[in-house]
Structure 1
Amino acid sequence: MRKLYFLVVSSLFLIGCQKDGPGALLTAKGDEAFDNYKDHYLEALWKVSPDKAAGEGYHKYDSILVIPNDKGREAIINFVKTQQDSLSRFEVNDLTEPNKIDYRILQNQLEYTNWQQTVLKPWQFNAGYYNPVPAFAHILNESYAPLAKRLRNLHQKMASLPQYYKEAEKVLKDAVPELTALAIDQQTAGLNIIDRDFIDSIKKANLPAAEQKQMTDRANLATAAMRMHIAWLKAVKSDKPRSFRLGKALYEEKFKYEMQSALTAQQLFNTATERKKQIHKDMAKLSRQLWPKYMGKKTIPADSLAMIAQVLDTISANHTTAANFQSSIEDMLPKLSTFVKEKDLLTLDPSKRLLVRKSPAYFGNVAGASLSAPGPYDKNANSYYNILSLTGMSTEKAQSYLREYNNYTLQILSIHEAIPGHYAQLVYANKAPSMIKSIFSSGPMVEGWAVYGEEMMLDAGYDPSPEMKLMWYKWHLRSVCNAILDYAVHCNNMSQESALKFLTQDAFQQQAEAEGKWKRVSLTSVQLCSYYLGYKEIVDLRDAYKIKTGATKYKLKEFNEKFLSYGSAPVKLIRTAMLGNK
């Protein structure tokens, strides 16, 4: 499944190369040849990256576990060179607009992969780079094939696990402590996938007794290898460990490849800082309006941020309980669907199932909520709205979390993650003719659409109360402050103490939410910029499209569906397709 946040993973693809591969197929020019090239590109990709293939719904190579050794890393560089040569044989201006977008996406992807392999080198410092657990879980839990077949594939895949970890331990010499701690949590949680879920599935499958024993024995060897690797990670020590902070130079380069925007990271930081000031003014105006209702005759503080904080804190007391957290979300989804239909904002596909579940433990709880969507090869599989489990939390921390996700913001969260946010957008992405746009999805487009959807729903009249508007400003401020925080931490060395103060005071976040965001910014980089950047780019595009169409002819639904028809392509490229070079 495709998780809509990043767990500090590096390039998960392009592990090998065939020198006589796609380049040899280019005997013609234009769209037909380019379409053939894309097909062969993806087939070659899946052969060398079976875990990514499984996540996209392509299960031909599920039994293979790629060993992360020197040979594989050398093959990546050779693969990139070969593919760049193949791509350069096409004249991009001879292609149709959809293929021009695909060309640019592949071009960027190859350049990014080369940068990761030659400059960033995440295999040297990121213990989370070596995590086969999500692929194991996907193959085991998704019913795309008979259970017996999936178990046999996993049985074969497990055979390479001991060697996989040995190779990882050879090169992981400059580990970032925060990333290592996350890897330990993920691997520890992943043990249950093999020594519990896999074993239980063996018992349920109608397999010969001898084969069941073989599978059980191998599962025991696999879990032993995982436990040894976890122990090794716990023992990793360094006198001068590498910092999780990227620094300005690496950050700007990574931003360029991941965001694919006309803005630089510094420019986005400056824009977000100005946006924060405007939001504070709008929140102050609403808070003064709501003050008598919630605070009575209590004197209004001179400090406008203190005034806003008091009003927000009072309204936040209206929240569900830990026991009803999941059911409250489940009850919201039909209401959101009904509203979208009544207001004619978007056509929804009721045949695509959306299930709410506790986030699997092997995710590592880097984000409080996420959406796992099926890949383009498995379009009819379930989508999952993943939520943080409150089980095991202290009463104080659970209450802080529930106040953050109160009766208003919990609705905004569900708009963002589900309808008309991630869930709806990714259904559209899977319907787009090109798999390239779906497989190599743009983070700012995906996250930006979800943020854009929040505002769109309120603009359409969804809960017009001033309380909801104020809470939306707080929620929107989160997207803005994500971009500020990420740049400030990775480029300006913002401390944990300053970050928590910024999040609780400037962004009005609860302590539990702020602490969770600090954890996330220390485990990821650049991705937190995608929310505000994508939102800004989409709103700018919508406004320009409205001018181009003409106010009398413009329809919001028509814009939304046309925009989504391009799949999860970068907004910059969609803008060119919809407006020309404007």
Structure 2
Amino acid sequence: MNKTALTLAVAAALTLAGCSSTNTSTETAAKPVAHAAQNQAFSTFSEKFIEDLWRQYPEFSQYAGYGKYDDIITIPNAATRASNIQFSKDKLAKLYSFNVDSLSGNQKTDYYLIENSLKKTIWNTEKFKGWQWNPSTYNVSYGFANILNSRFKSESEKFKTVLERLKYVPEYYAAAQQNIDTPTIEYTQLAIAQNEGAFAVLKDDLLDEVDASEVLTAQEKALFKTRFANAKTAINGYIAFLTQLEKDLTENGNARSFRIGEELYEEKFAFDIQSGYTAKKMYEKALADKARVTNEMVKLTDQLWPKYFPDTQRPANDTQAISELIKHLSQKHVAKEDFVTEIKRQIPLLEQFVIEKDLITLDPEKPLVVRETPEYMRGFAMASISSPGPYDSKENTYYNVEPLELRTEEQANSILREYNHWILQILNIHEAVPGHYTQLVYANKSPSLVKSILRNGAMIEGWAVYTERMMLEEGYGDHEPEMWLMYYKWNLRVICNTILDYGIQVKGISRDEGLDLLMNGAFQERAEAEGKWRRATLSQVQLTSYYSGYREIYDLREKQKEKLGKDFDLKAFHEEFLSFGSAPVKYINQLMND
């Protein structure tokens, strides 16, 4: 699923992802001028905002592929936080000089995206304070990996940029240690594991490459070795600090709870999802949809039961019958050692189907590379997408898959049953074609750089979930009832993501209750359910983005079909929808109906 581990780490560190406020502050706006002049003035403001944003957040600029500030690591201390807040307040004051009602539809969307990213920065820093209790916020691996893996930097640029960045690492981790105050056990454990993964990026082999390089002087090579050693010492020091902290917190029971409570949850939901519903209302909608989808699964079970169990009477209990059928079908899966290979094999087949059905235009020049998830990104999701930013849109998009060889036999078999013959195909639709990979290629072409950069996670996840159903509706899988049963199982998992997340963070459900919901309510394998529980303790609200985004996109499509009748064209709908970048669905809805 997207919102990749990488994307989440960036969002946590920079507190700039997700936008939801609707405050236009027209009372404080300057006297409105002619619309054309306002539009031009706002375009100028937007361009300068992005340039200033990169100077303020150099790491964020790197993930967007800007490149100009790749040699900088921001020290996460009190001075930086104060500077970030002041930056947000200054930009909000300038934003509020515009009368939002005089802007074009596209610019109104950008206005709200900018406003909410700035307001969320202030909220994150002053109220949510994840920088205090989430040690996994601090990790230098991502930036170094981006540089070393870049296809568009020369060897000289790579080594010299890494050399410059290395000097910041000791001070970076010293500030991180100063920030940490009563963290959660779960985030502390994640931080230890992911920072240990840093040595898969800053590995000793890199020194051999530097030694053999002809682009660095002898003095630069010596400096590189010194800074490299100091960086490793700093990372090891942070790991040791967290290891001791975890031990202390476990023994004294003073760790912060991973549950954030209703007030913070509602506020974070409003910033991140921007759906037009409260978190509580979305939770209630999910409960209703869970009942509806389960009913569809009952119908399919009635249809399939005689085929697979001709000599066995169907259990009277619907949940038991569905579960038994799913468990039987789930035995059909690839071998453990073929898991990644099979994913690679399926991508061209999905592309072929999309082209034959003329569902959306694919760009053959935007490569998708299936790879094992890098070590510094593991432990969060089985599959994810790492996409290039708008400035380096020709870079590879990576489809990250956690290798099963690292799991026990029992864990691997459970995962394989979960990602069985049918669901593995749905996963690839979601992550790759025409899901995340396709949408993010389009997002990088958006005429609005603001929408490409300050992207809305619910729209991104919602699109991927929408494409799963759309592909089956268009005949992928030959309308096989087994495929539809597994799709509903998968869709039920999306719905239960929302129920689980709200249940954990607001209602305080126990681990056993959460696993019961996922295993008996959503028919998931234990390994998958345990992984989702862990993920839910390491994030808040993000798990709701799949369902809320999907629901809004699907409803928009159905309204467009009703409105246009025989003139409705599915491909045209898809390409127009994606042309607005990764904006919240409610704003895309407005733009498509403007």
For 1:197 and 1:427, the matched residues in 2 are separated by 33
The answer as to 2:502 corresponding to 1:487 is yes
Amino acid across the alignment from 2:530: E
Residue among 205, 219, 229 paired with 2:238: 229
Q: What's the CA shift for 1:7?
A: 4.0
What TM-score, normalized to structure 2?
A: 0.93
For 2:123 and 2:362, the matched residues in 1 are separated by 39
* Corresponding residue number in structure 2 for 1:131: 139
What are the superposed Cα offsets for residues 32-85 of structure 1, whole Å, 9 maximum, x if unpaired? 221111121111111121111111101111111111111111111111110000
1:353-502 matched pairs, under 5 angstroms? 353-463=367-477, 464-502=479-517
Amino acid across the alignment from 1:398: A
Residue among 178, 184, 206 paired with 2:186: 178
* Corresponding residue number in structure 2 for 1:20: none
What is the Cα-based RMSD across aligned positions, in Å? 1.7
For 1:556 and 1:328, the matched residues in 2 are separated by 29
The answer as to 2:205 corresponding to 1:205 is no
What are the superposed Cα offsets for residues 378-400 of structure 1, whole Å, 9 maximum, x if unpaired? 01000011111112211111011
Q: What's the CA shift for 1:13?
A: 5.8
Secondary structure at the aligned position of 1:336 is classed as helix
Secondary structure at the aligned position of 1:67 is classed as coil
Larger CA deviation: 102-111 vs 238-247: 238-247
What are the superposed Cα offsets for residues 81-140 of structure 1, whole Å, 9 maximum, x if unpaired? 100001001111222211111011111111111111111111111101212211111111
For 1:480 and 1:106, the matched residues in 2 are separated by 30
Residue among 79, 85, 104 paired with 1:96: 104
Residue among 58, 83, 90 paired with 2:91: 83
Amino acid across the alignment from 2:435: G
* Corresponding residue number in structure 2 for 1:573: 587
- Whether contact under 8 Å (1:10, 1:116) holds in the other structure is no
Residue among 214, 218, 241 paired with 2:223: 214
For 2:123 and 2:169, the matched residues in 1 are separated by 28
The answer as to 2:159 corresponding to 1:145 is no
* Corresponding residue number in structure 2 for 1:70: 78
For 1:491 and 1:357, the matched residues in 2 are separated by 36
Residue among 272, 283, 291 paired with 1:269: 283
Residue among 285, 296, 302 paired with 1:288: 302
Residue among 105, 109, 113 paired with 2:113: 105
The answer as to 2:131 corresponding to 1:117 is no
The 1:42–1:282 alpha-carbon spacing in structure 2 relative to 1, beyond 3 Å, is same
The answer as to 2:267 corresponding to 1:250 is no
Residue among 266, 278, 282 paired with 2:292: 278
Secondary structure at the aligned position of 1:173 is classed as coil
What are the superposed Cα offsets for residues 401-426 of structure 1, whole Å, 9 maximum, x if unpaired? 11111111000000000000000000
Secondary structure at the aligned position of 1:408 is classed as helix
Q: What's the CA shift for 1:289?
A: 1.1
Q: What's the CA shift for 1:203?
A: 4.1
Larger CA deviation: 350-359 vs 213-222: 213-222
For 1:10 and 1:512, the matched residues in 2 are separated by 26
- Whether contact under 8 Å (2:190, 2:379) holds in the other structure is no
What are the superposed Cα offsets for residues 268-317 of structure 1, whole Å, 9 maximum, x if unpaired? 10001110101111101111111122122112111101100110011111
Secondary structure at the aligned position of 2:366 is classed as coil
What are the superposed Cα offsets for residues 233-268 of structure 1, whole Å, 9 maximum, x if unpaired? 111133321111110110000000000111111011
Amino acid across the alignment from 2:14: L
Larger CA deviation: 250-259 vs 290-299: 290-299
For 1:372 and 1:3, the matched residues in 2 are separated by 9
For 1:109 and 1:217, the matched residues in 2 are separated by 39
- Structure 1 gap segments, 5+ residues each: 15-22
Residue among 22, 40, 65 paired with 1:32: 40
For 1:204 and 1:370, the matched residues in 2 are separated by 35
Q: What's the CA shift for 1:197?
A: 5.3
The answer as to 2:535 corresponding to 1:527 is no
Q: What's the CA shift for 1:199?
A: 2.5
Amino acid across the alignment from 1:243: S
Q: What's the CA shift for 1:3?
A: 5.2
- Whether contact under 8 Å (1:3, 1:373) holds in the other structure is no
Q: What's the CA shift for 1:562?
A: 0.6
The 1:197–1:505 alpha-carbon spacing in structure 2 relative to 1, beyond 3 Å, is farther
Secondary structure at the aligned position of 1:356 is classed as strand
For 1:501 and 1:101, the matched residues in 2 are separated by 41
Secondary structure at the aligned position of 1:385 is classed as strand
The 1:242–1:13 alpha-carbon spacing in structure 2 relative to 1, beyond 3 Å, is closer
Amino acid across the alignment from 1:10: A
Secondary structure at the aligned position of 1:261 is classed as coil
1:313-352 matched pairs, under 5 angstroms? 313-352=327-366
1:2-81 matched pairs, under 5 angstroms? 4=4, 7=8, 10-12=12-14, 29-81=37-89
- Whether contact under 8 Å (1:359, 1:365) holds in the other structure is no
Aligned length: 568
Q: What's the CA shift for 1:447?
A: 0.4
What are the superposed Cα offsets for residues 131-185 of structure 1, whole Å, 9 maximum, x if unpaired? 2211111111112211221211111111111111111111211211100100000
Q: What's the CA shift for 1:11?
A: 4.8
Amino acid across the alignment from 1:4: T
For 1:522 and 1:410, the matched residues in 2 are separated by 25
- Structure 2 gap segments, 5+ residues each: 17-28
What are the superposed Cα offsets for residues 546-565 of structure 1, whole Å, 9 maximum, x if unpaired? 223x2111111111111000
* Corresponding residue number in structure 2 for 1:193: 201
Larger CA deviation: 171-180 vs 204-213: 204-213
What TM-score, normalized to structure 1?
A: 0.95
Secondary structure at the aligned position of 2:381 is classed as coil
Q: What's the CA shift for 1:200?
A: 4.5
For 2:487 and 2:375, the matched residues in 1 are separated by 29
- Whether contact under 8 Å (1:140, 1:198) holds in the other structure is no
* Corresponding residue number in structure 2 for 1:306: 320
